[in-house]
C-alpha cells in the first residue's frame, strides 16, 4: 500500500510538472540529427529574434511604452490593477478569472475534470454528461478546491540578497532558503495573506506575492468532456481546433453567499476580430528561455531524451497490460493517454532543441549578451566568468547524471522489487540497534506492522516484471551491459535471460519468501545474494557519492544562474521578461493565422468545422459527439466563431487564462498552443507560435442555444446574477 501510494503521488507530481512545462503519441528518433536538413544554411547569418525571450510580462514591470508603440494603447495603473484583481490562479495547476460581480469564475474544462469527479453523486458521470446548475442551490461545492487572487506585490530583492552573504555555494543556497522562509512567515502573520516569494531573472530580482485565497468554490457549468477535449490526443497541440474547453465555478464568501467583487472582466459577445490586439492574463508555469546555451545543451543531450525514453517505455508497458488485461482497459487507457500527451510534447521540445537554426538564435542572443557584459569592466569583473562556470558545471554533471539516474529509485520508473529490497535492508539495519535507538516504525507493535507491509498486498507481478525489464534496459542504455553496476543486477545476462536470472535467483518475490528471509535475521538479509538486495547495497556508497557531487554541482549552477540573472537585469532591465514562474503575467498579441501544410491556418474556426471533423472521421472517438450535439437545434448557429488563434505567448499553467481586448473585456479563453509552440519552453517564435483559445461568441452560443442555461448566459452578458 505504501509503495502504491508513493507511486500515485509521484505520478501526480510528474504530470503537474509536465503540465506547467508544456501546457496543458507519435514517435521520434531520439538519436536523429537535424544538421543535414540545414546544411545549405550559413548558421553564422542566423540572428536572435526581438522577442525570443518571450512576452510574459510581469505586472510589476509592464512594458507600457512598448504597448503604446505597438498598439497605440497606453494602459493606466488602474487598468493593470483591475485586470490583476480580476485574474485568478486556479488551485495549483491552472489559471482563471472572475467574470461577474457575483463571483462567477471561468476556467478550462480540462482544468476542471478532477473537480467535476469530486462533486458527482453515485451513479453520475458528469464528465460524460456535462453539468449545469439551474439555481444557486444546485451549485456544488468542490472539496479542497481553492482559487487565489493576487492582491499584493512587493520587491524584496535587497532584503533577500543582503542576507545571503558569503560562503560556499551550498551554504549560500541554504541561507537563501532560510531567509525566504523567514520573510514569508513574517509577511503571512502580518497580512493574513498566502505569501510566496518568487525569484525572477534566475534570482536577479525577488518579488513577494500576497494572495487572497477563496476556499468555497462551487461548480456551476461544465460541458461534456467529449466537447471539452474534442479530437482527444491526436488533435492535442494542433490547430485548427474545435474544443468547448470551458467550465464555470462560483466563489462563495465566508457567510455562504456568492462573493460580491468589484473586480471582474466584462463579457464581449462579439469576441475578437482578425488583427485585433488581445492580451492573455494568467500564470504560465515554467520556461528556460534565460538559461545559458550550455544548460540547454545539457537538457537536450541528457534529461529530455531520458524522459522521452521513459515515457515511450511506459506507453509500451500500458499497451502490453491492456492486451493482457482487457478488463482493466479503461483505467490503463487513461494512464496511457497521459503518457502519450506528455510524449507528444517532449517530441516537440526535443525537435526544437535539435534544430540548429533555433539553437543558433539562442547562441546569437548569448553572444550579444556576453559582449555587452565584457565591454564594461565593472560588469565583466562581476559576471565575465558566468558562462564558462555554467558550462564546466554542466559538463561535470553530464558525467554522472546517467549513473545517478539508474541507481536511484522513484515509483514511476522503478519496479516495486527494489523498494521491497530497500525496506528489508532498512529493517535489517534497524534491528541491529537496541530498541530504544530505533525509529518508531521498528519498535513494539509497529515493528510487526512494518514487516507485514514490506511486500505489498496489491503487488502486480505482470506490471512489476515489465518495469524490471525497463530497468534492465535503462542500465544497458545508460551504463552499458558490461558496466559493473549493470552486472550486479543482471549477472552478465541480457534480454529475457537477464530477467529470468534475476527472478529465479531472488528471495523476495513473494510475501512468503520475504517472511522466510526476515525470520533468518538481519545478517541473512544483509549478506543475501538476492540480486535486488545486492544492487541496493553494492551501489549505495557510489550513489551517495555522486548524489553529493550532484547536489554540490546544482548549488554551483544555482549560484551562477543567479549571477546570470543579475547580469541580464543589469544589461537589459525589464525590456525582456523573466522566465515563467507560475505567477501572474500579461502577454500581448494579435489574432492571426499562420502557414501550415502548404496553406494557411484560419485565424478563427466555426462549429461547421467541428461537424465536418465529426463526419470525416465516421463519428468515431475521439471525434465522436455527445447525444445532444448530434442534432443541433434550429436556433443553434453553426456559423458562430468557435476557436481562434493569437500570437500571444503562453505555456502550461496558462490554461484557463482569459483572453481580453484593450477594454479589458473577455473575448476568449486560452486552452492550448499549436505544435509549433512546443519549443516555447526555451524560445518564443512569434512567426509560428500560436495560442489556441475558445471564442467568447462560441461559448455564449453553446451555453444559451445548445444547453439552454440562460441563467448563465444572462449572467455573462449582464455581469451579475440573473434575477
pTM here is: 0.89
Could you read off the pLDDT of 572-602 as tens digits, one per residue? 999 999 999 999 999 999 999 999 999 999 9
User: Band of the pLDDT at 82, cuts 50, 70, 90?
Assistant: very high
3-state secondary structure of 548: helix
Q: Say if CB 695 and CB 642 are below 8 A apart.
A: yes
Q: Which residue has the cell 526544437?
A: 352
Nearest-angstrom CA–CA distance, 84 and 79: 9
N-to-C CA span, the chain: 52
Q: What is the pLDDT of residue 166?
A: 76
Could you read off the pLDDT of 546-573 as tens digits, one per residue? 999 999 999 999 999 999 999 999 999 9
Under 8 Å CB-to-CB from 301, ≥6 apart: which residues? 398
Ordered by start, the domain boundaries in the chain are: 2-49+290-368, 57-146+215-288+576-718
Nearest-angstrom CA–CA distance, 671 and 699: 13
Q: Which three cell numbers stand for residue 99?
A: 467574470
User: Secondary structure of the chain: what % helix, strand, coil (to 5)?
Assistant: 55, 15, 35
> Does 297 have pLDDT greater than 80?
yes
Could you read off the pLDDT of 212-226 as tens digits, one per residue? 999 999 999 999 999
Q: Say if CB 260 and CB 649 are below 8 A apart.
A: no
Q: Which residues pair with 692 in a beta bridge?
A: 645, 672
Could you read off the pLDDT of 369-410 as tens digits, one per residue? 999 999 999 999 999 999 999 999 999 999 999 999 999 999
CA dihedral (137, 138, 143, 145) positive or negative: negative
Q: What is the pLDDT of residue 36?
A: 62
Nearest-angstrom CA–CA distance, 348 and 618: 29
3-state secondary structure of 366: helix
Mean of all residue pLDDT scores within the chain: 93
**CA-wise closest residue to 667 among 716, 602, 721:** 716
> Does 542 have pLDDT greater than 70?
yes
Could you read off the pLDDT of 693-713 as tens digits, one per residue? 999 999 999 999 999 999 999
Q: Which three cell numbers stand for residue 542?
A: 557510489
Ranking 13-17, 102-106, 347-351, 457-461 by mean pLDDT, the lowest is 13-17
Q: Say if CB 394 and CB 301 are below 8 A apart.
A: no
Nearest-angstrom CA–CA distance, 272 and 283: 22
Residue 668 DSSP one-character state: E
155 φ/ψ angles, rounded to the nearest 5 degrees: -80, 115
220 by Cβ neighbours in 10 Å (0-12 / 13-18 / 19+) ranks as: buried
687 by Cβ neighbours in 10 Å (0-12 / 13-18 / 19+) ranks as: exposed
Q: What is the pLDDT of residue 35?
A: 53
Q: Which three cell numbers stand for residue 27?
A: 514517435
**CA-wise closest residue to 304 among 294, 296, 316, 313:** 296
Nearest-angstrom CA–CA distance, 30 and 468: 22
> Does 493 have pLDDT greater than 70?
yes
Report in angstroms the alpha-carbon separations of 716 from 73, 248, 257, 389, 666.
26, 11, 19, 54, 10
Residue 618 DSSP one-character state: T
Q: Which residues pair with 105 in a beta bridge?
A: 98, 249
**Between 40 and 499, residue with greater pLDDT:** 499
**CA-wise closest residue to 683 among 367, 355, 398:** 355
Residue 269 DSSP one-character state: T
Q: Say if CB 649 and CB 55 are below 8 A apart.
A: yes
> Does 191 have pLDDT greater than 50?
yes
Q: Find out whether the peptide bond into 713 is cis, omega within 30 degrees of 0.
A: no
Q: Say if CB 465 and CB 576 are below 8 A apart.
A: no
Nearest-angstrom CA–CA distance, 76 and 657: 21
The kind and range of the H/E element at 57 are strand 57-58
3-state secondary structure of 594: strand
Q: Which residues pair with 668 in a beta bridge?
A: 659, 695
Size (the chain), residues: 723
3-state secondary structure of 277: strand
Q: Say if CB 337 and CB 233 are below 8 A apart.
A: yes
Could you read off the pLDDT of 84-135 as tens digits, one per residue? 999 999 999 999 999 999 999 999 999 999 999 999 999 999 999 999 999 9
Report in angstroms the alpha-carbon separations of 227 from 265, 458, 669, 695.
25, 36, 15, 14
> Does 331 have pLDDT greater than 50?
yes
Nearest-angstrom CA–CA distance, 327 and 344: 27
Q: Say if CB 322 and CB 385 are below 8 A apart.
A: no
Q: What is the pLDDT of residue 25?
A: 33
Q: Cα 463 to chain center, whole Å?
A: 26
Mean pLDDT of all residues in 409-430: 97
DSSP secondary structure of 208-261:
EEEEEEE--EEEEEE--HHHHTTTHHHHTT-SS------EEEEEB-TTSSBPP-
Ranking 32-36, 171-175, 227-231, 409-413 by mean pLDDT, the lowest is 32-36
> Does 462 have pLDDT greater than 50?
yes
User: Band of the pLDDT at 333, cuts 50, 70, 90?
Assistant: confident
- Within 10 Å of residue 286's Cβ, how many Cβ atoms? 18
Q: What is the CA radius of gyration of the chain?
A: 27
User: Band of the pLDDT at 33, cuts 50, 70, 90?
Assistant: low
381 φ/ψ angles, rounded to the nearest 5 degrees: -65, -35
Report in angstroms the alpha-carbon separations of 343 from 26, 121, 470, 505.
8, 34, 17, 35
- Within 10 Å of residue 378's Cβ, how many Cβ atoms? 9
Classify 57-146+215-288+576-718 by CATH class.
mainly beta
The kind and range of the H/E element at 150 are strand 147-155
Nearest-angstrom CA–CA distance, 443 and 435: 6
Q: Which three cell numbers stand for residue 563?
A: 549571477
In which region does residue 429 sit, left (phi positive, over 0), alpha (psi from -120 to 50) or beta (all else)?
Answer: alpha
- Within 10 Å of residue 712's Cβ, how many Cβ atoms? 23
Residue 591 DSSP one-character state: B
Nearest-angstrom CA–CA distance, 188 and 276: 41
**Between 652 and 333, residue with greater pLDDT:** 652
Q: Cα 214 to chain center, whole Å?
A: 23
In which region does residue 39 sit, left (phi positive, over 0), alpha (psi from -120 to 50) or beta (all else)?
Answer: alpha
Q: Which residue has the cell 517530441?
A: 347
44 φ/ψ angles, rounded to the nearest 5 degrees: -65, -20
Q: Which three cell numbers stand for residue 14?
A: 510528474
Q: Which residues pair with 485 in a beta bridge?
A: none
Amino acid at each position: 500500500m505504501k509503495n502504491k501510494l508513493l507511486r500515485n503521488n509521484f505520478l501526480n507530481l510528474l504530470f503537474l510538472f509536465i503540465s506547467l512545462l508544456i501546457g496543458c503519441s507519435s514517435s521520434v528518433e531520439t538519436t536523429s540529427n537535424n544538421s543535414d536538413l540545414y546544411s545549405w544554411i550559413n548558421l553564422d547569418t542566423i540572428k536572435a529574434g526581438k522577442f525570443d525571450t518571450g512576452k510574459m510580462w510581469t505586472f510589476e514591470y509592464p512594458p507600457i511604452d512598448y504597448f503604446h508603440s505597438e498598439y497605440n494603447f497606453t494602459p493606466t495603473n488602474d487598468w493593470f490593477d483591475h485586470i490583476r484583481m480580476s485574474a485568478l490562479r486556479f488551485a495549483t495547476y491552472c489559471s482563471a478569472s472572475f467574470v461577474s460581480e457575483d463571483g462567477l469564475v471561468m476556467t478550462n474544462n480540462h482544468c476542471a475534470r478532477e473537480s467535476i469527479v469530486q462533486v458527482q453523486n453515485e451513479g453520475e458521470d458528469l464528465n460524460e454528461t456535462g453539468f449545469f446548475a439551474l439555481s444557486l442551490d444546485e451549485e456544488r461545492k468542490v472539496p479542497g478546491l481553492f482559487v487565489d487572487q493576487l492582491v499584493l506585490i512587493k520587491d524584496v530583492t535587497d532584503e533577500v540578497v543582503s542576507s545571503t552573504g558569503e560562503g560556499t555555494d551550498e551554504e549560500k543556497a541554504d541561507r537563501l532558503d532560510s531567509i525566504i522562509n523567514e520573510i514569508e512567515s513574517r509577511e503571512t502573520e502580518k497580512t493574513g495573506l498566502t505569501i510566496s516569494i518568487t525569484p525572477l531573472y534566475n534570482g536577479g530580482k525577488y518579488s513577494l506575492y500576497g494572495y487572497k485565497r477563496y476556499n468555497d468554490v462551487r461548480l456551476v457549468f461544465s460541458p461534456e468532456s467529449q466537447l471539452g477535449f474534442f479530437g482527444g490526443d491526436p488533435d492535442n497541440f494542433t490547430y485548427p481546433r474545435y474544443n468547448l474547453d470551458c467550465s464555470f465555478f462560483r466563489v462563495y464568501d465566508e457567510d455562504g453567499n456568492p462573493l460580491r467583487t468589484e473586480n471582474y472582466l466584462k463579457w464581449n459577445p462579439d469576441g475578437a476580430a482578425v488583427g485585433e490586439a488581445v492580451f492573455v492574463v494568467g500564470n504560465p508555469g515554467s520556461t528556460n528561455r534565460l538559461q545559458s546555451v550550455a544548460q540547454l545543451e545539457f537538457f537536450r543531450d541528457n534529461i529530455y531524451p531520458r524522459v522521452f525514453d521513459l515515457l515511450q517505455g511506459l506507453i509500451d508497458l500500458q499497451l502490453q497490460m491492456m492486451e493482457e488485461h482487457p478488463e482493466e482497459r479503461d483505467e490503463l487507457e487513461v494512464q496511457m493517454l497521459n503518457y502519450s500527451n506528455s510524449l507528444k510534447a517532449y517530441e516537440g521540445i526535443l525537435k526544437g532543441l535539435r534544430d540548429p537554426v533555433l539553437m543558433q538564435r539562442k547562441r546569437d542572443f548569448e553572444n550579444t549578451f556576453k559582449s555587452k557584459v565584457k565591454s564594461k569592466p565593472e560588469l565583466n569583473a562581476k559576471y565575465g566568468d558566468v558562462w564558462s562556470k555554467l558550462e564546466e558545471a554542466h559538463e561535470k554533471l553530464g558525467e554522472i547524471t546517467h549513473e545517478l539516474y539508474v541507481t536511484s529509485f522513484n515509483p514511476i520508473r522503478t519496479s516495486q522489487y527494489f523498494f521491497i529490497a530497500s525496506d528489508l535492508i532498512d529493517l535489517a539495519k534497524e534491528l541491529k540497534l537496541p530498541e530504544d535507538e530505533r525509529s518508531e516504525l521498528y519498535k513494539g507493535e509497529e515493528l510487526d506492522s512494518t514487516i507485514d507491509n514490506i511486500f505489498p498486498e496489491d503487488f502486480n507481478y505482470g506490471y512489476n516484471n515489465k518495469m524490471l525489464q525497463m530497468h534492465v534496459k535503462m542500465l544497458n542504455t545508460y551504463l552499458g551491459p558490461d558496466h559493473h553496476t549493470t552486472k550486479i543486477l543482471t549477472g552478465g545476462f541480457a534480454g529475457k535471460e537477464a530477467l529470468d536470472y534475476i527472478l529465479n535467483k531472488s528471495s523476495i518475490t513473494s510475501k512468503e519468501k520475504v517472511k522466510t528471509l526476515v525470520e533468518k535475521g538481519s545478517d541473512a538479509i544483509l549478506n543475501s545474494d538476492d540480486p535486488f538486495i545486492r544492487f541496493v547495497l553494492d551501489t549505495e556508497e557510489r550513489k551517495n557519492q555522486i548524489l553529493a557531487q550532484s547536489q554540490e554541482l546544482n548549488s554551483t549552477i544555482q549560484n551562477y544562474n543567479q549571477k546570470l540573472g543579475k547580469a541580464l537585469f543589469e544589461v537589459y532591465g525589464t525590456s525582456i521578461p523573466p522566465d515563467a514562474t507560475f505567477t501572474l503575467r500579461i502577454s500581448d498579441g494579435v489574432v492571426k493565422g499562420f502557414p501550415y501544410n502548404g496553406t494557411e491556418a484560419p485565424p478563427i474556426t466555426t462549429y461547421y468545422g467541428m461537424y465536418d471533423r465529426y463526419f470525416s472521421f465516421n463519428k468515431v472517438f475521439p471525434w465522436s459527439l455527445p447525444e445532444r450535439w448530434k442534432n443541433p437545434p434550429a436556433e443553434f448557429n453553426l456559423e458562430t466563431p468557435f476557436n481562434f488563434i493569437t500570437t500571444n505567448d503562453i505555456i502550461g499553467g496558462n490554461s484557463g487564462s482569459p483572453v481580453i481586448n484593450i477594454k479589458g473585456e473577455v473575448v476568449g479563453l486560452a486552452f492550448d498552443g499549436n505544435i509549433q509552440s512546443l519549443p516555447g519552453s526555451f524560445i518564443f517564435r512569434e512567426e509560428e507560435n500560436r495560442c489556441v483559445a475558445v471564442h467568447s461568441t462560441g461559448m455564449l452560443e453553446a451555453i444559451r442555444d445548445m444547453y439552454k442555461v440562460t441563467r448563465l448566459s444572462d449572467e455573462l452578458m449582464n455581469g451579475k446574477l440573473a434575477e
